[in-house]
Structure 1
Amino acid sequence: MRPGILIIGHGSRDRDWVALVDEAVRHAELPEGIPAEVVFLEIVEGRLIQDGIDRLEAKGVTDLFVIPFFVSGGSTHVDEIAYALGVKDAPSTDTDLLPFRVQARVWFGEPMDEDPIEMAEIAMERSRALLGGRKPEETVLMLVAHGSEHPLFYDRYVGGLLRVADRIQREMKYAAIDSALLLPEQLYDKIIRWQTETDYTVMVVPLFLSSGYFTNRVIPNRIGQAVCVYDGQALLPHPLVSSWLSRQVRQVMQRR
């Protein structure tokens, strides 16, 4: 067996977004002597998934350990990538992604919310910074994720948010931890409900990999005139994201 590591992100036209992903991988503790490629589903020319597969197989890689560098298993992209790599026989929803040319055996990892130890710690840290002088027991923490209108993927998003919320609440003891998806749109109505029915302060923490279009534009637009505390901080940059990558690589390599 000659192993290789393929870390797959979504991709962005924003060079800073790509740079944050690269930096997180650079600080991860990957096994020495094993070739690794950081690639993207779309947009980043020369660093697409097939490019990475080709480069690794050209080095003689026979076993490809794939890390889906995505926040949630609710992302349809994680499902379609698994299908296109031959991990599953059919996608769970329509996709334009064609099967990749891959000769190596593929071992597929899990996105961040499947076992969200590090993600919960980051969200907890972000929430502490937003608290200021407020008490957790007088505050509602609202976790926000992209979401999906497809029932299967909606349920996966919700399940991931619940796992994160459970870990945070064990330590922080907020008045409540709620969650809201952008698909379907839930954020404004949920903030308004807490605002009108209680005296709690609502703090909004986005569970997105990196700051960008959704954290800087979409979420503020969805918040609208609702009253809450929000600073737009995403998961990156944070050293615990690199810790998650290190742990996920170890776990997927142990499955062989």
Structure 2
Amino acid sequence: MKPGVLVISHGSREAEWVRLVEEAVAAAAAQAEVFWLTGLAGVGGQTGDGRTPSVGSRPPVTGCEPGIGVQTGDGRTPSVDSRPPVTGSEPGIGVQTGDGRTPSAGSQPPVSGSEPSIGGQTSNDRRLPVVSSFLEIVEGRLIQDGLDRLEAEGVTELYVLPLFVSSGSTHVDDIAQAFGLPPVSPARAGELEPLRCGGMRVHFGQPIDDDADIAELLLANIRELSEAPERERLLLVAHGSREAGFFARWRGGMTRLAERMRQGGGFAGADTAMLLPDQAACKLRALQRKRPGQNVIVVPLFLSVGYFTRTVIPSRLSGLQYRYNGRAMLPSPYISQWMGGQIAAWLENRDPNRIE
């Protein structure tokens, strides 16, 4: 079984967003490939930063062809339907960005053709293909394009990693349903056409939610705003959702992330607010009324700087006192570290000898 990884993020017309995602995925791919190659050599067991990946929450890897099925990281089992075969371009080798570029040599481990084979594999067979794709807008780089590329690379076992803030995102649900998984809410059908997975077995991963690496990232983002954390409160603000089932997922992940930040930064408290429904101003007013002696630092939970961080959040909080710098999650090495850790944990748990 040849493993491969497809990282999926939201689309954008801004070239800067595409560049930021490409750079983060390339760095994560290099980190994951170090783990993959050393693991094959019997040396592995750690992510690129020396941490041992968590394995307890990883369900068995299944697939997306009839009779195989797909399973998501939260344990949902899909309905099974027929999928036509996928054809692709000539296979390339190695860690690649979605447009076929290979990350610079300085960001990935060298793999020479003279290396001894491991387990009967040549050095080329041992490379771990990692491709980034986008939900929409970016022509030639959509999800099906990424699947086609990975199938052409010979991938038979696929890890799909959604680069999104929350498992409450309806976009994540749309993607999961396109892979054949059931909806989060029976009342909401997915907005994407079914994807063609070829013969690949697929494991659907989980978005960020309350990951410890991201808590560290956000603490670093607001460090300049904090003067006396014991007299300050955090207000995490994210997109959110009004829809049944999705609101609770947003709230749960945000609440856990806020608590990680409170503990990690030594803050007096941490609260959350969504833009949908419109909670931000109401939550901030309530905090200032109940805790008049505490300053509030507003923390945006967005992957990229843009309309929501520059315009929506400041306009919703207009006239209120708070500290805010509008910094988003990218660019940051923590995002690559999170992705690399997720990929490494999947590689640690996959059973390469399993036969469907």
Residue 210 of structure 1 pairs with residue 304 of structure 2: yes
Deviation at 1:91, TM superposition (A): 5.4
- Specify the alignment match of 2:189 in structure 1: 94
Report runs of 4+ in structure 1 exceeding 4 Å deviation.
none
- Specify the alignment match of 1:117 in structure 2: 212
The total of aligned residue pairs comes to 252
- Specify the alignment match of 2:136 in structure 1: 42
The aligned runs of 1:34-183 (5 Å cut-off) are: 34-86=128-180, 88-90=181-183, 92=185, 93-103=188-198, 104-113=200-209, 115-131=210-226, 134-183=227-276
- The 8 Å contact of residues 80 and 91 in structure 1, kept in 2 or not, is answered as no
Deviation at 1:89, TM superposition (A): 3.5
**Deviation readout 1:169-192 (Å, 9 max, x if unpaired):** 223232210111001011111112
Which has a greater percent of helix?
Answer: 1
Q: Which residue type is aligned with residue 23 of structure 1?
A: E
Q: Which residue type is aligned with residue 225 of structure 2?
A: L
- The 8 Å contact of residues 32 and 341 in structure 2, kept in 1 or not, is answered as no
- The 8 Å contact of residues 234 and 299 in structure 2, kept in 1 or not, is answered as yes
Deviation at 1:95, TM superposition (A): 2.3
Deviation at 1:90, TM superposition (A): 4.2
Aligned alpha-carbon RMSD (Å): 1.4
Residues of 2 paired with 1:213 and 1:255: CA distance? 39
Residue 240 of structure 1 pairs with residue 334 of structure 2: yes
- Specify the alignment match of 1:21 in structure 2: 21
Residues of 1 paired with 2:17 and 2:343: CA distance? 22
Which has a greater percent of strand?
Answer: 1
**Deviation readout 1:18-68 (Å, 9 max, x if unpaired):** 111111112221226111210000011100000000111112211111111
Residues of 2 paired with 1:120 and 1:90: CA distance? 28
Q: Which residue type is aligned with residue 348 of structure 2?
A: Q
Alignment gaps of 5+ in structure 1: none
Residue 5 of structure 1 pairs with residue 5 of structure 2: yes
Deviation at 1:9, TM superposition (A): 0.4
Deviation at 1:5, TM superposition (A): 0.9
Q: TM-score under structure 2 normalisation?
A: 0.68
SS in 1 for 2:303: coil
Deviation at 1:11, TM superposition (A): 1.2
- Specify the alignment match of 1:201 in structure 2: 295
Residues of 2 paired with 1:229 and 1:169: CA distance? 16
- The 8 Å contact of residues 234 and 262 in structure 2, kept in 1 or not, is answered as no
- Specify the alignment match of 2:32 in structure 1: 30
Percent sequence identity is 48
SS in 2 for 1:203: strand
SS in 1 for 2:191: coil
Residues of 2 paired with 1:236 and 1:182: CA distance? 20
Q: TM-score under structure 1 normalisation?
A: 0.94
